[in-house]
């Protein structure tokens, strides 16, 4: 091919290329443009006669603070190739992005005579990438500020948002590994949570599940896990429903308490009716005892003196039973209690005698620790005896199988002036399952217990302005304590 024909062919090829092409003179001062093709003119808006003889830097205008320009400058100085992406400006001042590829052109002797450059317009692609980046940033902002926890999981790694950090107590850098995070948060529930995103998604996402987790501080929380995207990348939403679950459980408890109150009310009416009916046989029994005493008092009869003593004691117990029944009826009807000043130590000793009368099937070591400085208290003696008898009998029953049965009855003077009574045993203790509800109606730690004794005890103590509580007796058994104010006013807790 003749040189002239070859040059013409090369020129026509260059002119037909859709990419903007430039050739600069490497041997002239400031490396000026010596050729641009038609695509260059179309892309930049400049005619060739407006740019030939100028260095191409005018295309960057005032936007010279681009790191890529230094790369181009170094490549020209060292005579090597360079590929960069630049911001350029058209003749009308509008911005466009180009991918610029620069190559040196050498003569037969190896000297660089020119640089050729190809510019590809990537403005649309850059705009799309920018829009995608902005979309991802906005999505990230939305996820970061959602009020629910977000776990973005892909290939075994996790990204979490601020709410997830607050729910779990862990910093996001501590929750980057999927398996480790499950182990930290879910413990025994980890497999249930794992099954949520391992299940078949063809019929929709699994139903959200409420499962327990433990946060970094060790606090158990009820969390609703919901999967809202599946595949290689998916999102798990965590909602802290601890308060709602607590409220739901509390509502269930309230409903149960209302039902128990209705049962207790019905039982109270029945008990009041039974108490009324019992008065008549008790009165008859007392009359029979008085008749027997009159018969035995005849001059021709000389009964054993102890027999008369037993009859007197029997009559006293019948009157006591009648009095208990009368006070119980008043209690069930919420009648005013009958208070008087009494020595609490005397009430404790009498209550022990009543509680153990005919009920001690095995020896029990009694420890009386009654403080002598306790003042008298204004109480209904019969009702406080009822509380003590119930607590003492419960203590004795709990020690039926104990190797060493020891009952301690203690009275002390509190700092606020109230009087405290402790009933301690070495029995089997209070089961953890009923500890928090021990004084509620129909709650019992006994197999055959009705669960009303301690509830009545609490009601009596509180009617006297006192408080009652139970706790473990270290190392074995339990302690039931109640405090009573001197004057019947409420005891400070």
Q: What is the pLDDT of residues 177-225, one digit of tens each?
A: 878 888 888 887 777 777 766 654 545 556 788 888 889 998 888 888 8
Examine domains 146-240 and 340-484 and report if their fold is the same. Answer: no
Q: Which pLDDT score is estimated for 43? A: 93
Q: Which helix (H) or strand (E) holds 192?
A: helix 190-198
One CATH from 3.30.450.20, 1.10.1040.50, 3.10.150.10, 3.90.550.10 for 3-127: 3.30.450.20
Q: pLDDT tens across 271-327, in order?
A: 666 666 776 777 777 777 778 777 777 777 777 777 777 777 777 777 777 776 666
- Written as six digits, the tokens of 443 are 């709650």
pTM of the model: 0.41
The number of beta carbons lying within 10 Å of the beta carbon of residue 19 is 17
Q: Is the dihedral of CA 479, 480, 483, 484 positive or negative?
A: negative
Q: pLDDT tens across 402-447, in order?
A: 888 899 999 999 998 899 999 999 998 888 777 777 777 655 555 5
Crossing angle of the two packed helices 344-356 and 381-398, in degrees rounded to 10: 50
Q: Is the pLDDT of residue 169 over 70?
A: yes
One CATH from 3.30.1360.200, 3.30.450.20, 3.30.565.10, 3.20.20.70 for 340-484: 3.30.565.10
- d(C-alpha 204, C-alpha 351), whole Å: 69
Query: How is the chain split into domains, by residue range?
Result: 3-127, 146-240, 263-332, 340-484
Crossing angle of the two packed helices 381-398 and 453-463, in degrees rounded to 10: 150
Higher pLDDT, 238 or 305: 238
DSSP 59-81: GGTT----HHHHHHHHHHHHT--
Structural domain 146-240, CATH architecture: 2-Layer Sandwich (3.30)
In the predicted model, what is the mean pLDDT of the chain?
A: 81
Mapped onto helix, strand or coil, the DSSP state of residue 132 is helix
Q: Which pLDDT score is estimated for 6? A: 45
What DSSP character marks residue 208?
P
Cβ contacts of 333 within 8 Å, gap of 6 or more: 272
Cβ contacts of 235 within 8 Å, gap of 6 or more: 150, 151, 152, 153, 227, 228, 229
Q: Is-contact 239 149, C-beta < 8 A? A: yes
């Amino acid at each position: 091919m003749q040189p002239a024909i070859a040059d013409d062919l090369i020129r026509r090829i260059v002119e037909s290329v859709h990419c903007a092409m430039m050739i600069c003179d490497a041997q002239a001062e400031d490396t000026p443009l010596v050729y641009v093709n038609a695509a260059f003119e179309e892309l930049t808006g400049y005619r060739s006669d407006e740019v030939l003889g100028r260095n191409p830097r005018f295309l960057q205008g005032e936007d010279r603070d681009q790191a890529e320009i230094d790369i181009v400058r170094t490549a020209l100085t060292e005579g090597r190739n360079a590929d960069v992406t630049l911001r350029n400006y058209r003749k009308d001042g509008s911005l466009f992005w180009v991918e610029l590829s620069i190559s040196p052109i050498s003569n037969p002797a190896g000297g660089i005579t020119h640089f050729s450059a190809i510019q590809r317009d990537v403005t649309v692609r850059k705009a799309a990438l920018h829009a995608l980046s902005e979309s991802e940033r906005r999505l990230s902002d939305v996820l970061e500020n959602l009020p629910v926890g977000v776990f973005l999981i892909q290939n075994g790694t996790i990204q979490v948002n601020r709410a997830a950090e607050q729910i779990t107590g862990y910093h996001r850098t501590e929750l980057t590994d999927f398996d480790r995070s499950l182990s930290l948060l879910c413990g025994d529930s980890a497999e249930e949570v794992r099954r949520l995103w391992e299940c078949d998604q063809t019929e929709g996402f699994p139903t959200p599940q409420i499962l327990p987790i433990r946060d970094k501080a060790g606090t158990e929380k009820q969390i609703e896990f919901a999967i809202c995207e599946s595949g290689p990348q998916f999102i798990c939403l965590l909602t802290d429903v601890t308060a709602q679950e607590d409220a739901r459980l509390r509502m269930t408890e309230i409903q149960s308490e209302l039902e128990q109150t209705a049962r207790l009310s019905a039982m109270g009416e029945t008990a009041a009716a039974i108490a009324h009916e019992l008065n008549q046989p008790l009165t008859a029994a007392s009359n029979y005892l008085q008749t027997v005493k009159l018969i035995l008092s005849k001059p021709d009869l000389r009964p054993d003196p102890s027999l008369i003593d037993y009859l007197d004691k029997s009559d006293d117990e019948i009157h006591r039973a009648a009095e208990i029944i009368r006070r119980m009826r008043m209690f069930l009807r919420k009648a005013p209690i009958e208070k008087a000043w009494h020595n609490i130590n005397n009430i404790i000793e009498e209550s022990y005698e009543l509680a153990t009368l005919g009920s001690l099937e095995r020896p029990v070591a009694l420890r009386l620790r009654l403080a002598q400085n306790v003042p008298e208290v204004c109480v209904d003696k019969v009702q406080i005896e009822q509380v003590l008898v119930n607590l003492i009998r419960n203590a004795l029953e709990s020690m039926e199988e104990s190797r060493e049965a020891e009952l301690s009855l203690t009275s002390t003077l509190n700092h606020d002036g109230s009087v405290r009574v402790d009933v301690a045993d070495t029995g089997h203790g209070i089961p953890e399952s009923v500890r928090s509800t021990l004084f509620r109606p129909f709650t019992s730690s006994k197999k055959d217990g009705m669960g009303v004794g301690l509830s009545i005890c609490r009601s009596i103590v509180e009617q006297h302005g006192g408080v009652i509580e139970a706790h473990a007796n270290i190392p074995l058994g339990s302690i039931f304590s109640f405090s009573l104010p001197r004057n019947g006013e409420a005891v400070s807790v």
